Structure 1
Amino acid sequence: MHLKIAGQHVDLTDALKNYVTEKLGRVDQYFDNVIDAQVVLRHEKFRNSVEVTLFAAGTTIHAEMEDKDMYAAIDGVADKLERQVIKYKEKVTDHHNAENQKRSAEEA
């Protein structure tokens, strides 16, 4: 997965980049078809927000999270993405299994 990290009003330290890379790496274990990911880290007055867009074969998945702590926002958005990827993968898998079962029943 190609990861592009951008920051608005945030100093992108190596620690932040490594943390984002580590947390978004969890998505790869569920869904291998992720082609590209864009991450935007923002700091505004008293809140931090993280926006992630995953571009995968056949779909685009987007998640946002705001929190007082940047690391907590990254954790939250990683959890949201993980749930969305699992849901999408189950949907695709169930769809294909239903088609195969229908064809098997028609052939028999």
Structure 2
Amino acid sequence: MNLTISGHHLDVTPAIRDYVQNKLERITRHFDQVIDTHVILAIDNLTEKEKRQKAEINMRLSGKTVHVESVAQDLYAAIDLLMDRLDRQVVKHKTILQNHAHEAPKRMPEGGAEATA
């Protein structure tokens, strides 16, 4: 898996990089067919008192690209929220793939005599 972590108006420290990598391990436990991942961390300075931390991710899986965004007051909280949302989408994609693979036998006729008649 290729991992790219970048920051807008923010220096990505080794602590933040390690935190994101540790959180992404949970995703790869569920689904190991991840091609590459782009994480963008940003700080939006709206006013002096109101600072918004934004985290977004683009993850290319086999057959799909997943895009998730989250916003919070704290960057670590935004990353946690991002990983929770991403985890739900990856698990949903995995169940769709598994269910799709098993649909064909359900639609086959049960008896050979009924199929020929």
**Which of the five TM-score ranges fits, normalised by the shorter chain?**
over 0.9
What SS does the corresponding residue of 1:21 show, helix, strand or coil? helix
**Matching residue's letter, 2:103:** A
Q: Give the TM-score normalised by the residue count of structure 2.
A: 0.86
- C-alpha RMSD of matched pairs (Å): 1.6
1:65 to 2:70 alignment: yes
Gaps of 5+ in 2: 46-50
Q: Percent identity?
A: 38
Gaps of 5+ in 1: none
C-alpha deviation, 1:31, in angstroms: 0.8
Q: Give the TM-score normalised by the residue count of structure 1.
A: 0.93
Deviations 1:18-39 (A, max 9, x none): 0001111111011111010000
The number of equivalent residue pairs is 108
| Structure with greater helix share of residues | 1
Work out which of the two has the higher radius of gyration on C-alpha atoms and give 1 or 2. 2
Q: Distance in 2 between matches of 1:66 and 1:19?
A: 17
Runs of 4+ in 1 over 3 A off after TM superposition: 103-108
Q: Distance in 1 between matches of 2:10 and 2:36?
A: 22
Deviations 1:75-103 (A, max 9, x none): 00000000000111111111111123334
